[in-house]
Chains A and B, each alone.
Chain A
Amino acid sequence: MSGGNPFLDPLLRRRREEPDAPFALLHGPAGWEEYPFAALFDRALQFAALYRARGVKPGGLVFLMLRHGQDLCAGFLGGMLAGAMPSFLPPPTPKQDPALYWRQHRTLLAQTAPAAILAEEALHAPIAAMLGEATPPLLRCAEADALPAVLPASLPDADAIALLQHSSGTTGLKKGVALSYRAIALQLDAYAERLGLRAPPAIASWLPLYHDMGLITGLLLPLWLGGRIAAMDPFAWVGRPALLFEGVTRIGASHVWLPNFAFHLLARTVRRVEGLDLSSVEAWTNCSEPCRPDAFAAFLARFAHAGVREESLRTCYAMAETVFAVAQAAPGAPVRRLTLPDGRTLLSNGPPLAGCEVEARGEAGPLPPGEIGELCIRAPFLFTGYNRNPEATAAALAEGWYRTGDLGLVEDGEVFVTGRIKDLIIVAGKNIHAHDVEAALQDLPGLKPGRAVAFGQDDPDLGTERLVVVAEREEGADAASLVAAINGAVLDALGIACGAVQVVEPGWLVKTTSGKISRESNAARYAALRAKGDPHGRQS
């Protein structure tokens, strides 16, 4: 992999040699529409021209705040072709408080100093109002329409930063994971090998592109391998989960990636199985939240008659800091299971990808096989660092190893994930930091300041976690109104609803010996309260 750009060069070659190659079948308000590779690539060149014309220099950060559609993909690829660093930011959802959303993003936009923002028209005014004189050029997709689709004179080299992948988090600065072209190409190469691809993949996806699983499997992997995608807006999919299967059948999809909850959701909500043919799918990969056996069991029981085979159900352990996959169960046999002494049954994530090492470490260093510790990773496709954040980079990367904050073990060369060190709650594939939830409730009238705790609780119905909040009320405050107020405040701040809210009397929450409110002890107290609760509910 010397000379040239290992990610972009194959795309340029395909544009030259296979001008009629198909690429994206996108679902939108008008139904499914086909976008050939050449159309997407040429549109990307127009965006590259737009960025340059509006002053974006090589290495400049370009944020994209667009809805699902061809321009979301082309605008991103155009950023790469212009030598800039593109990065997706999810626009505010209709359920979020826009004022709060913009307040949260002010820090990110001010500290990352983007060279330009390509955004929906409706977002321009709030961005300009928020950033004032510091507002970078705000671009509209239509501005690219009249520009020429001309190849740039040169492409960024292999070690240039190709893109930023932004992590979750609201109160702290979101961390921008900087990935080089070299790292991306090495990851895609190793991942394609593990997938055992016999032909370029056809991928059906509802995953948002601002999420690493969506970005890599729903855009970069098929672009690089000459595959194709059938993609839809995540909100459209949640409203009609069977839309994913429509995408599968329309392109004869060979691969689908889903977070664990989606296996349950599809099994429970897709009612019409007659006539459904899912037999083209070689791999349904479970990734982005802990993979659980019951998710596979429910999916298989529901869709085996539609052609889903047990050996097509795969698992993957992935993160933005390694571009995507660390490990993936190899094709050809059912995924291995391991029962822990506490009775939990884990699914293996398979062996690490070629060239990638995974160790479970304790305080004294690497642990013997089978012992649980923090999973640490060394790989040729590690991230370069966190953008403009050397402290966070130094804390996570040491001597070529990345500390994941995940707990797990390696046995017989396969990676098993058991939990997390960080106070992270994964709700339907979305990472939520407990302290962000608690911070959102800090000033809520009726609650005792600083007396709220957030934690995750298993949701066996959907195979994910529920975000639970337990908060102490002020004397005289109405508990029922507070439940709604807490849910609304969390929704505004994080764009996600609580799974359950319990308002308790002052002094109910348990503290640790160091005086902090204990998430673990209060989670146990809440579970006990619920176990003896009246199912129709009365606030305690």
Chain B
Amino acid sequence: MAASLEELYEVLASALNAWNVQFRPEMGARDVPGWDSMHHMMLILEVNDRFGVDLSPEATAELPDIAALLAAIQAAQQGA
């Protein structure tokens, strides 16, 4: 089943330890406390486990926001 925004928010909250952040699709790493390069690694590993994809931390680091990350996950799911 295709990844949803709500599921991605759960993964973001867990991987970034972002207990008090209200996520929105247009938010990028700059807008979210805890989303630094190291936690981006953790995030993508958790995304890969949760959604059954194999995204690269390096390639996804350039994505502008959460919406783009979701699109990349969904595209990878369709290609899998």
A contact set with B: CB distance below 8 Å: 95, 235, 238-241, 261, 265, 268-269, 271, 428, 459, 461-462, 466, 469, 480, 483-484, 486-488, 491, 496-502, 530, 533-540
Min CB gap A505→B, angstroms: 14
Give 19 CB contacts A-B under 8 Å: A238-B38, A238-B41, A239-B58, A239-B61, A271-B45, A461-B42, A462-B38, A466-B34, A483-B33, A487-B32, A488-B30, A488-B31, A491-B30, A497-B30, A498-B34, A502-B20, A536-B10, A537-B22, A540-B20
- Complex alpha-carbon distance, A455 and B72, angstroms: 36
Q: Indicate whether B18 reaches chain A with its CB closer than 8 angstroms.
A: yes
Q: Which of chain B's residues 1-43 have a Cβ closer than 8 Å to chain A?
A: 9-10, 13, 17-22, 24, 27, 29-38, 41-42
- Residues from chain A with a CB closer than 8 A to the CB of B29 are 497
Closest to A93 in B: B37
- Residues from chain B with a CB closer than 8 A to the CB of A240 are 57-58
Check A497–B13 contact: CB distance below 8 A. no
Tell me whether A497 and B20 are in contact in the complex, defined as CB-CB below 8 angstroms, given that A268-B42, A484-B30, A491-B30 are known contacts: no
- Complex alpha-carbon distance, A95 and B10, angstroms: 25
- Complex alpha-carbon distance, A182 and B36, angstroms: 40
- Complex alpha-carbon distance, A373 and B43, angstroms: 40
Min CB gap A226→B, angstroms: 34
Q: How many A-B residue pairs have CB under 8 A?
A: 89
Tell me whether A261 and B13 are in contact in the complex, defined as CB-CB below 8 angstroms, given that A535-B19, A537-B18 are known contacts: no
Closest to B14 in A: A535
Closest to A533 in B: B19
- Complex alpha-carbon distance, A241 and B58, angstroms: 11
Check B33–A497 contact: CB distance below 8 A. yes
Check B19–A497 contact: CB distance below 8 A. no
Tally chain B residues at the interface, Cβ within 8 Å. 27
Min CB gap A508→B, angstroms: 14
Check B33–A498 contact: CB distance below 8 A. yes
**Residue from the list B27, B37, B45, B58 in contact with A484, Cβ < 8 A:** B27
Check A238–B37 contact: CB distance below 8 A. yes
B contact set with A: CB distance below 8 Å: 9-10, 13, 17-22, 24, 27, 29-38, 41-42, 45, 57-58, 61
Min CB gap A458→B, angstroms: 11
Closest to A529 in B: B20
Check B19–A537 contact: CB distance below 8 A. yes
Closest to A427 in B: B36
- Residues from chain B with a CB closer than 8 A to the CB of A502 are 20
Closest to B41 in A: A269
Check A499–B34 contact: CB distance below 8 A. yes
Check B13–A537 contact: CB distance below 8 A. yes
- Complex alpha-carbon distance, A95 and B37, angstroms: 11
Closest to B37 in A: A238
Tell me whether A268 and B45 are in contact in the complex, defined as CB-CB below 8 angstroms, given that A535-B13, A535-B19, A538-B20 are known contacts: yes
Min CB gap A489→B, angstroms: 10
Min CB gap A194→B, angstroms: 30
Check B17–A459 contact: CB distance below 8 A. yes
